[in-house]
Amino acid sequence: MGVYLRVAGYAFRRYSTYRVATASAVVTNTVFGFLRAYILIALWQARPQLGGYDVADAVAFSFLTQALIGPVNVFAGSLELTGRIRTGDVAVDLHRPVDLQGWWLADDLGRAVFALVFRGVPTLAAGMVAFGIPLPGPATLAAFLGSAALAVLVGFALRYLVSLCCFWLGDERGLHTVSTVSTMFFSGMILPLVVFPGPLGEVARALPWAALIQVPADVFLGRHTGTGLLGVYAFQAAWAVALLGAGRALTRAARHRLMIHGG
């Protein structure tokens, strides 16, 4: 366990060195938060109570999604692991006395914590100041942080699977693009999933991408409490376990493939 904590700590420090990039990301996320907020305000003024949200919920949702872009890495369809697979450096990783999946998960958790604190919090704070978005109580805030942690796990598991496919495809860029587009559409990044009609909405809310943005945002808005909160936690945890398990099985297959082709 100690080595994974050190990997996570190193990742946190590594990302903290990119101060200009972090500041730029905060400004960009905040600006897009304002743009999306005004678009959603116009939509909800035309369709009040759409999807069970009011205008205040829609505005809060726009800034929450912008704040979660960094922690769940919405626009990154894969991990830096793909570069090591293409160059063959992954052979060194596989011979380390640590689990490959565990190593990259620890690295991603360190990155996610940094992104949440230094990118997510300032973006959400800007929305609170400009639009009066209320800060939830301690219990709801703690529930949100728990949901956000599970969202990070699901996001990592999805990107890890895409990265491992590079063992077979040789180039992950096509799959990376498909993964990114799917994440943006089905997570609620473009529009809240509550506005998706009929069967499309039901399917979208059952897919793993919903665990990345829509579920944590609804927890922050207080739409899930008591047994309902346990239900969404179970939803996120089930997808995290299933996808991490698939990643572990694919890691074993990739190791076997590397041994066959690399000796």
Question: Tens-of-pLDDT digits for all 263 residues of the chain?
Answer: 788 999 999 999 999 998 999 999 999 999 999 999 999 999 999 998 888 999 999 999 999 999 999 999 988 777 888 888 888 788 888 887 888 999 999 999 999 999 999 999 999 999 999 999 999 999 999 999 999 999 999 999 999 999 988 888 777 778 888 889 999 999 999 999 999 999 999 999 999 999 999 999 999 999 998 899 999 999 999 999 999 999 999 998 887 766 544 44
pLDDT of residue 192: 94
pLDDT of residue 122: 96
pLDDT of residue 258: 61
pTM for this one?
0.92
pLDDT tens per residue across span 29-53: 999 999 999 999 999 999 988 889 9
DSSP for the chain reads -HHHHHHHHHHHHHHHT-HHHHHHHHHHHHHHHHHHHHHHHHHHHHSTTGGG--HHHHHHHHHHHHHHHHHHTTT--S-THHHHHHHTTHHHHHTSSS-HHHHHHHHHHHHHHHHIIIIIHHHHHHHHHHH-PPPPPHHHHHHHHHHHHHHHHHHHHHHHHHHHTHHHHS--HHHHHHHHHHHHHHHTSSS-GGGS-HHHHHHHHHSGGGGTTHHHHHHHTT---THHHHHHHHHHHHHHHHHHHHHHHHHHHHHHHHHHHH-
